């Protein structure tokens, strides 16, 4: 995996989970949606997506989600990608491969490899609620903060 792609994946995990949850877990790979720093809800069976439905209040409204893992992948998508990509489980390598496929589907791989971070971020906004412009009516992180996380993770800008 190229340094830029690894850094972009690290940035997505940073955006979705934050540095505290990444540190409190298996680098985010075992985090259940709704976790918070100091209150991490983790799973320990990587054989399959945990498919645990969690109800939360976000911006004053109820949100139900099965998101899990480093990239907060919904159960229904995890299973579809598992079959599409021939993945054996929901372990770290499989989660990375799912996230890369999601990036590929957004048409952002070339932008990431070329260091066009802002364009790649815009293209991937539909996949992750925490990215700017996602429009899921949830918290979105600032582009400058995410760019800084990407650069800290070893990503190069064009």
Catalytic residues: 16
pLDDT-derived band at 60 (thresholds 50, 70, 90) equals confident
Q: Which of 16, 126, 123, 112 is nearest to 71 (CA)?
A: 16
Mean pLDDT, rounded, of the chain:
94
- What confidence score (pLDDT) does residue 104 get? 97
Handedness of CA 8, 14, 15, 17 (dihedral sign): positive
Report how far apart, in Å, the C-alpha atoms of 31 and of each of 23, 35, 44, 50, 66 are.
Answer: 11, 7, 9, 10, 11
- Report the pLDDT value the prediction gives residue 108, as an integer from 0 to 100: 97
Helix (H) or strand (E) run with residue 117 in it: helix 117-124
Give the mean pLDDT of 54-81: 92
Q: What percent of the chain has pLDDT over 70?
A: 100
pLDDT tens, residue by residue, 127-158: 999 999 887 777 889 999 999 999 999 999 99
Question: What's residue 107's pLDDT?
Answer: 97
* pLDDT, position 96: 98
Over the stretch 95-116, which tens digit does the pLDDT of each residue have?
Answer: 999 999 999 999 999 999 999 9
E strands, 53-123, are 54-58, 61-65
Tell me the average pLDDT across 23-48.
94
Is pLDDT of 123 > 80? yes
Give the start-to-end residue ranges of the domains of the chain.
Answer: 3-152
Q: Would the pLDDT of 49 be above 90?
A: yes
With bands split at pLDDT 50, 70 and 90, how would you rate the model's confidence at 36?
A: confident
* CA atoms of 95 and 78, how far apart (whole Å): 8
Q: What is the CATH number of domain 3-152?
A: 1.10.530.10
């Amino acid at each position: 995996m190229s340094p830029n792609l690894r850094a972009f994946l690290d940035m997505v995990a940073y955006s979705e989970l934050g540095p505290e949850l990444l540190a409190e877990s298996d680098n985010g790979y075992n985090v259940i949606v709704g976790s918070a720093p100091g209150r991490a809800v983790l799973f320990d069976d990587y054989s399959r997506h945990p498919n645990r439905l969690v109800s939360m209040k976000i911006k004053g409204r109820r949100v139900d989600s099965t998101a899990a893992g480093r990239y907060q992948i919904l159960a229904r998508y995890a299973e579809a990608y598992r079959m599409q990509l021939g993945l054996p489980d929901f372990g770290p390598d499989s989660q990375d491969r799912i996230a890369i496929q999601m990036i590929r589907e957004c048409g952002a791989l070339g932008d990431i490899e070329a260091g066009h971070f802002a364009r790649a971020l815009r293209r991937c906004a539909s996949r992750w609620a925490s990215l700017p412009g996602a429009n899921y009516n949830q918290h979105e992180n600032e582009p400058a903060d995410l760019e800084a996380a990407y650069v800290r993770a070893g990503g190069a800008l064009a």
